[in-house]
Every structure is written in C-alpha cells, then in structure tokens.
C-alpha cells in the first residue's frame, strides 16, 4: 500500500471514530447495523448450517463448520490459521508456526526466581480426536510429562479445541494435571495468546468506552522507551493522530470481574471483521474478582489470561510441593468472530461481541466439553444466604444489610486469603441491595466463604469449611460481619472500597498522554507517569491535609510516593494530617489505615512529636504488587490498625505524620484506600 493511501485510511478511520463518539451508543440498544449483524449471525445458526468437518494430514488438523475454519499443527496444537469471512487467516501468517495462537506457562523450579524462564509455549506430543459428530468436533493435544523431561514444566497439559455447528468461533480449554511423584514447581502465569494480522487489525475494543485506533508494532519499535520497556513514547508513529502519544499494554488492563470480552476490528476488509476473546466465567482465573490483568494490546495481540502475578506479585504464584497432586480445568474460553457490512456504524461489531459474551455467560457452565474433568452444570452445587453488617457507629446500634457486598468461595484460608489464592477455583458474585446472595454452579469441594462490603473496612470469612456436593444447596442463613471498629469516628479520608480511585488523581504530563483517557475521568488513573506528578505538585514541601477543610478528591494525592530530587535520585516524603480533638479522654485511639496497594514500601507514623525520635509505629517493608508503575488504582488490599495511647493526642490541634520511608526508585509507595481515626471506646458500650 502506498503511503498516501495508508494516510487516507487512517484519516477515514479517525473521522468514523469521531462520528461514533459523537452519536454515542449504549450496550443495551440495538442499532440498525447491530440488528443486521445479529440477523446474519442468527441465520448462520439455523439448523441448515453445515456439519462440522475434521480433516487431518501428517502434520495438520483442519476443523471447519462452514463459518470458521481453524488449522492446528499436529501434534503440537499451535493455532496456525483462523479463516473467516473471506480472510484466509486472521492470525499473522508471517509469524512462525509457534507464534500465532498458543498456550504458554511461565514457571520455575521451586527454588525460586533464579531459574525463572521467561515463558514456555506448551507443545503437544500426542494428538487425538475426542469427539467427531456433525454437530461438534473436539480434539486434544496432550503434552505429558515424564522424569526424563528435565526443563519442562512437571504438569501434564491437555489442550482442547471444540468447534460446534453454526458457531461463529470455537472454544479452547486446558486441563492441568499432576499425578503423584512429580517434582516441585512454581507457576507464575498461564495464558492463551493470539497474534493477529498486523495489516488488518488496527482498532481495539476492550470496553464500551475503552476503544481506539491503536499504534502499530512498528510505531512502538520506532518510539522512545520511557521508564520501562513496556511504556513507549510514540514520537515516530506513522499515523499523525497517534504520534506523540504514550503506549503501554498495562493501560489496557481490567479487573477479572470486568474482563469478559475484548478484541480487535479490521476495517481493512469487506465486510468489516471482528476478532474477540470471550471469558464466560472467572472461576478458573486466579486471585478473585478484583485481580487485574492484561486484555488486548499492540501487536495486535489478544490474551486470555488464566493465572498471572500482575498487580499482585509473586505472593500469588502457584507453588507445588514435591509430589503434590493437582487437577484444574482452565476455560473454556470462546474465540468469536463477527462481521458487518462496511457502511455499518463502528459500534455494531462491538455491541454484537457484547451480546455474544452475554450469551456465553448465560450458557455457563457449558454442557458440551467432553473432558470428564470439566464439571457439568448438574454436577455442581449452590450456596445462598444473606450478609449483614454490624458497625454500631454507622447506624446506631442496628445491623444493616451488606448492600452489594462481594461474596465468594475460594480454597480454605485466612480472612482475605482469596486475593492471593491461585491454585483452586473461585466463585464470586455480588449480593443484592439487601445483602442476599446466591452463588450458583460451584464445583464440588471444600471452600471457605469470604466477603467484603463496599463502605466498610476489613474482610469477612465464615467460620467453618463449606463442603459443596453435586446438586447440593447450602443455605447459610443470615450472616453478620462486624468490621474492625474500636470507637467513634473522629475523621476519615477516602471511601473504604479497596481502591484509591476516589482520591486526587492528577492530570498526566501533557507530553505523555494516552488520548483515549483524556476525557474519561474514571479512567484517568490509567495515564502514564502519574507517580512523577507528586514531585511536580510538591517540589519542596510535602502534602498537608487539614481535616474539615480539605477534601479527599482534591487534596489527598492518590499515591504516597517518593520525591524526585535529581537524575534517578529520590527522597522519602512525610505527609501530615492536621485535626482537632475536642476533649481530653483516656484509653486508646485507633488509627485505621486501609491500604489499596503497596510496593516495596515502609510506612512510619508519628503522633504530634517531632520527627527526630523513632517512629511511634512502623510497618515492615511491605508489598510487591507493582500497581503504581502499572497504572493500577489498587493492588493487594491490607488493613493496619494502630492503637494510639490517649496521651499522644491533646485537646486542641494535633498532627499525624505519615512517612513512606523507602525511596530508592519512583515506583515504591503506598496507595491508600481509606484512613480513619477512632476515639477511645466509650466505657460500657463496647
């Protein structure tokens, strides 16, 4: 393509994009074009659609249902080609066979990080046809492990592909199994990767608002590396509309609970074509509903993340002891393709992908995977009940319903252990506004019931192991969570929601923006380099917060980071909270510090006294979740309750000093979720 043509293409797309932003759209409404896309889909799903066919030769398997054709290498199980709607391969055919569609696992031997291997693509060694009917084909690529396979992950991995009649796509899942006698191993990441055609897929969509024309891999290569290799300043991008922006794949992360469908659209084909990765459930993903992970990013690349340490650190990795047995099914996920005539509005492919993802969620758990390890709907159980909260300070002496609480089942552990739990399945839902919940389709086994309630600090755990049996219904009745609380609130900063999102988020450096987030305050935290803005705002003196005058969303910087003092040099920062105590009292005050993220940080606290004495309280060095550098508004949650003898405070004006004392780099720090000072308990009341 000549340069002038490609400029025209970009220009045309930008115009379309503006039009699309101008008219807006909502997920619920079906535009004319959306309906057309649906209609096309429904027609192809009619029973008249062709039978599923399987062809194979000595090194390839081709599965075809007349809508989509998938070619896999045999016996490795790499996806070599996906042919759809006149495009012979939506994957990048210039890439090697093992670099288009694959499963990979990052792991190491148990001793730890020294032997960390960047990532390992799983190569099947034994191909078999599991099922072959006119309605459905399922194939298996098994990579078994034996003691002679030193250097390969000691897990038997069975990669499965399912194609069904009339479906515009195919399903993919993997069964991980460790029989007795396998050596120790530590797993950091499990994911499926798809690399799409670079000449066609330029537009990425990961949510209703988070959609844009993306830079190319070439734009990134010709750009300037910022503070780490993933972040690039695109100062040589071909498309003038993109030139000068920042690109970083972590700007496109999502929480598990919101990571249902994402993908790419090609306008460089007639009809326009969409490629989507749909996750119908989170049960197989690690570390609970708030765990953040990657989606799609420049490449063009689409990921189905099952397990990772992103935004959490290696404390969430999976550790297998020597001889430890294991079995878990990851997926299925659905790879969906759609198309719409090029005159349609831009949103038709996205809204059709959302419709399809809703349909997959409704059909979950699927009843068609043929592995006996995939637990079918009728073999699963249910847990229901109501959660309430007793926080006597908030509502008199009463108990209130745990409105919209997050409730879930995960392997047995301590309060809040689910956010580091990666081995087992997790089943989460959100309670209704009266705190009622029903967790359906739970895989049989032993769990703890966990919860947290927006608006309240701490973590709830039901004090008994819950054993789910096939078809069983467990009624927990009415449960009461008593969040940590020692006395009445004197002041509070922020909202207890496990995120720093409601605090002051600065604008990015104007030279380092991602334009997607410029008019999107809710996603403003995803801009690059916000950690550097603290020094810009507080070049010499640190943050001082006056209770009663200041507001958390204007005056409490979202990240307690170090101050830049020169080239790669930093100094610790000490924030002050100034407040008034109305009367003299005895007993202990309580300072509740809820932390939304910590990265190689240490918090030291002084009450009124000059700061040259030892801190009155300090934490150990804490956190490795790396949420600051990854534009996360939270990492792992923790709660610190500090008892403060009453003689540390006096009637009148008081100051609490909070020092983040670790300052060897710009990504060390703490994201506060919420802070609260409680008066000493009123005797007789507690």
Ligand X SMILES: *[C@@H]1O[C@H](CO)[C@@H](O)[C@H](O)[C@H]1NC(C)=O
Residue number, 290 or 461, with CB nearest to ligand X = 461
Q: Kindly state whether residue 645 participates in binding ligand X, applying the rule CB under 6 A.
A: yes
In the 8-state DSSP scheme, what is residue 52?
P
CB-wise, 54 or 640, nearer to ligand X? 640
CA 448 remoteness from chain centre:
22
383 token code pair: 């847990």
- Coil vs helix vs strand at 617: strand
323 and 180 Cβ atoms separated by less than 8 Å: yes
User: With respect to ligand X, which residue has the nearer C-beta, 159 or 642?
Assistant: 642
Determine the interface stretch with ligand X among 36-44, 182-190, 194-202, 380-388 (rule: CB under 6 A): 36-44
Residue 280 near residue 255, CB atoms below 8 Å: no
Here's the x/- map for ligand X, 580-619, by CB under 6 A: it reads as: -------xx-------------------------------
Under the binding rule (CB under 6 A), the answer on residue 225 touching ligand X is no
- What is the rounded distance in angstroms from the CA atom of residue 223 to the CA atom of residue 238? 11
> In whole angstroms, how close is the CB of 534 to ligand X at the nearest point?
20
Rg (CA), the chain: 27
Least distance to ligand X from the beta carbon of 38, Å? 5
- Smallest gap from Cβ 76 to ligand X, in A, equals 35
CB of 400 to ligand X, least distance (A): 16
**The two three-digit tokens of residue 652, written as one number:** 């009148």
138 or 459: whose CB is closer to ligand X? 459
Choice from 49, 415, 576, 585 touching ligand X (CB under 6 A)? 415
Give phi and psi for 163, each to the nearest 5: -120, 135
Measured from the CB of residue 641, what is the shortest distance to ligand X in angstroms?
8
Kindly indicate which of the ranges 9-17, 35-43, 303-311, 325-333 contains the residues binding ligand X, using the contact rule CB under 6 A. 35-43
Residue 415 or 434 having the CB closest to ligand X = 415
Q: Which stretch binds ligand X (CB under 6 A): 164-172, 183-191, 612-620, 638-646?
A: 638-646
- Binding to ligand X, residues 433-462 (CB under 6 A): 458-461
Q: Contact between 564 and ligand X (CB under 6 A)?
A: no
* Candidate list 14, 315, 382, 482; residue touching ligand X; CB under 6 A: 482
CA distances from 332 to 153, 162, 280, 609, 639 (A): 22, 9, 8, 58, 36
Torsion region of 16: left, alpha or beta (phi above 0 gives left; psi -120 to 50 gives alpha): alpha
Q: Does residue 591 contact residue 547 with C-beta atoms inside 8 Å?
A: no
Scanning 31-39, 128-136, 293-301, 342-350 for contacts with ligand X by CB under 6 A, the matching segment is 31-39
* Nearer of residues 47 and 568 to ligand X, judged by Cβ: 568
Q: Which of 262, 252, 274, 261 is nearest to 200 (CA)?
A: 274
Tell which one of 185, 287, 335, 639 touches ligand X (CB under 6 A): 639
Q: Minimal distance in Å, beta carbon 459 to ligand X?
A: 4
Residue 81 contacts ligand X per CB under 6 A? no
Q: Is 49 in the site for ligand X (CB under 6 A)?
A: no
Q: Is 148 in the site for ligand X (CB under 6 A)?
A: no
Q: Which is nearer to ligand X, 572 or 587 (CB)?
A: 587
Nearer to ligand X, 30 or 97 (CB): 30
- Helix (H/G/I), strand (E/B), else coil: 252: helix
Residue from 568, 583, 652, 683 in contact with ligand X (CB under 6 A):
568
Binding positions for ligand X, 375-414, rule CB under 6 A: none
CB of 59 or CB of 225, closer to ligand X:
225
Distance in Å, CB of 386 to ligand X, minimum: 15
Helix (H) or strand (E) holding 44: helix 32-44
643 scored as a contact of ligand X (CB under 6 A): yes
Query: How many CB atoms neighbour CB 256 within 10 A?
Result: 20
Shortest separation between residue 243's beta carbon and ligand X, angstroms? 25
d(CA 402, CA 213) in angstroms, rounded, equals: 41
Residue 459 CA to residue 541 CA, distance in Å, equals 36
| 35: enclosing H helix or E strand | helix 32-44
Q: How does strand 169-178 pair with strand 185-195?
A: unpaired
Query: What's the min distance (Å) between Cβ of 279 and ligand X?
Result: 20
Name the one range near ligand X by CB under 6 A: 87-95, 192-200, 372-380, 476-484.
476-484
Q: Which is nearer to ligand X, 73 or 619 (CB)?
A: 619
Residue 48 interacts with ligand X (CB under 6 A): yes or no: no
Closest approach of ligand X to the CB of residue 198, in Å = 33
Nearer to ligand X by Cβ, of 271 and 487: the residue is 487
Q: Which is nearer to ligand X, 362 or 541 (CB)?
A: 362
473 binds ligand X (CB under 6 A): no
Return all residues near 330 (Cβ < 8 A) that are at least 6 apart.
173, 174, 175, 176, 190, 284, 306, 307
Residue 338 lies near ligand X (rule: CB under 6 A): no
Distance between CA atoms of residues 99 and 117, nearest Å: 17
- Residue choice 2, 463, 613, 685 for contact with ligand X (CB under 6 A): 463
Nearer to ligand X, 38 or 157 (CB): 38
Whether the CA torsion 411, 413, 418, 419 is positive or negative: it is: negative
* Residue 597 β-bridge partners: 671
Encode 431-496 in three state secondary structure.
CCCCCEEEEEEECCEEEEEEEECCCCCCCEECCCCEEECCCCEEEEEEEEECCCCCCCEEEEEECC
Q: Find out whether 211 and 350 touch, Cβ atoms under 8 Å.
A: yes
Question: Least Å distance between CB 536 and ligand X?
Answer: 18
Question: What single-letter DSSP state applies at residue 513?
Answer: -
Tokens encoding 280: 């119908």
Range 21-29 contact pairs with CB under 8 angstroms and sequence separation of 24 or more: 23/345, 25/208, 25/345, 25/347, 25/351, 26/208, 27/208, 27/351, 27/354
Is 236 among the residues that bind ligand X (CB under 6 A)? no
Closest distance to ligand X from the beta carbon of 74 (Å) = 34
Number of residues that bind ligand X (CB under 6 A): 20
Cα(431)–Cα(444) distance, rounded to whole angstroms? 22
Nearer to ligand X, 115 or 465 (CB): 465
Does 247 contact ligand X by CB under 6 A?
no
| Residue with nearest beta carbon to ligand X | 458
Q: Is 111 exposed, middle or buried (0-12, 13-18, 19+ CB in 10 A)?
A: exposed
Nearer to ligand X, 75 or 665 (CB): 665
42 or 224: CB nearest ligand X: 42
Interface ranges with ligand X (CB under 6 A): 35, 38-39, 42, 415, 458-461, 463, 481-482, 484, 567-568, 587-588, 639, 643, 645
């Amino acid at each position: 393509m000549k340069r002038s043509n490609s400029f025209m293409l970009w220009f045309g797309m930008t115009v379309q994009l503006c039009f699309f932003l101008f008219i807006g759209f909502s997920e619920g409404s079906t535009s004319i074009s959306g309906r057309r896309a649906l209609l096309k889909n429904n027609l192809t799903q009619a029973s008249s659609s062709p039978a599923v066919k399987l062809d194979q030769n000595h090194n390839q398997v081709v599965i075809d249902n007349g809508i989509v054709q998938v070619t896999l290498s045999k016996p490795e199980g790499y996806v070599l080609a996906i042919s759809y709607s006149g495009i012979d391969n939506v994957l990048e055919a210039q890439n090697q066979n093992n670099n288009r569609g694959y499963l990979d696992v990052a792991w190491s031997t148990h001793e730890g990080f020294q032997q960390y291997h960047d990532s390992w693509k799983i190569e099947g060694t034994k191909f078999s046809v599991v099922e072959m009917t006119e309605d459905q084909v399922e194939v298996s690529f098994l990579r078994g492990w034996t003691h002679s396979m030193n250097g390969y992950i000691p897990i038997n991995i069975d990669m499965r592909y399912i194609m069904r009649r009339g479906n515009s796509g195919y399903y993919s899942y993997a069964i991980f199994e460790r029989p007795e006698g396998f050596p120790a191993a530590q797993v950091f990441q499990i994911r499926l990767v798809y690399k799409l055609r670079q000449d066609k897929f330029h537009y990425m969509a990961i949510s209703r608002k988070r959609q844009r024309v993306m830079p190319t891999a070439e734009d990134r290569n010709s750009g300037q590396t910022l503070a780490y290799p993933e972040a690039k300043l695109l100062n040589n991008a071909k498309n003038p509309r993109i030139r000068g922006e920042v690109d970083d794949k972590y700007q496109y992360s999502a929480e598990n609970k919101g990571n249902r469908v994402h993908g790419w659209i090609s306008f460089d084909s007639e009809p326009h074509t969409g490629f989507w990765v749909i996750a119908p459930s989170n049960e197989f993903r690690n570390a609970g509903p708030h765990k953040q992970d990657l989606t799609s990013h420049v490449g063009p690349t689409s990921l189905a993340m099952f397990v990772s340490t992103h935004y959490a650190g290696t404390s969430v990795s999976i550790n297998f002891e020597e001889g430890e047995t294991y079995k878990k099914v990851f997926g299925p996920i659905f790879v969906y393709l759609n198309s719409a005539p090029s005159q349609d509005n831009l949103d038709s492919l996205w809204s059709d992908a959302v419709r399809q993802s809703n349909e997959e969620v409704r059909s979950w758990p699927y009843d068609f995977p043929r592995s006996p390890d995939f637990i079918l709907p009728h073999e699963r159980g249910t847990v229901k009940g109501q959660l309430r909260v007793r926080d006597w300070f908030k509502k008199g002496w009463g108990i209130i319903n745990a409105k919209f609480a997050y409730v879930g089942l995960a392997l047995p552990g301590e309060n809040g252990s689910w956010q580091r739990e990666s081995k087992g399945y997790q089943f989460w839902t959100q309670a209704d506004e009266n705190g009622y919940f029903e967790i359906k389709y739970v895989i049989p086994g032993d769990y703890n019931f966990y919860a947290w309630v927006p608006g309240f600090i701490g973590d709830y755990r039901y004090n008994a192991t819950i054993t789910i049996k096939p078809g069983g219904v467990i009624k927990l009745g009415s449960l009461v969570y008593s969040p940590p609380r020692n006395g009445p609130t004197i002041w509070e900063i922020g909202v207890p929601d496990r995120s720093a999102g409601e605090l002051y988020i600065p604008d990015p450096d104007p030279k380092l923006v991602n334009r997607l987030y410029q008019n999107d305050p809710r996603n403003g935290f995803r801009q690059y380099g916000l950690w550097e803005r603290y020094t810009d705002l507080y070049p010499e003196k640190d943050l001082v917060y006056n209770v009663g005058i200041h507001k958390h969303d204007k005056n409490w910087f979202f990240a307690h980071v170090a101050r830049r003092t020169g080239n790669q040099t930093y100094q610790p920062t000490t924030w002050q909270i100034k407040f008034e105590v109305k009367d003299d009292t005895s007993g202990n005050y309580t300072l509740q510090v809820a932390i939304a993220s910590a990265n190689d940080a240490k918090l030291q606290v002084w009450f009124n006294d000059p700061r040259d004495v030892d801190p009155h309280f300090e934490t150990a060095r804490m956190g490795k979740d790396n949420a600051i550098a990854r534009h996360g508004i939270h990492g792992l949650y923790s709660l610190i309750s500090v008892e403060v003898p009453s003689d540390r405070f006096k009637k009148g004006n008081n100051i609490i000093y909070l020092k983040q004392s670790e300052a060897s780099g710009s990504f060390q720090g703490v994201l506060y979720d919420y802070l609260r000072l409680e008066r000493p308990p009123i005797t007789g009341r507690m």
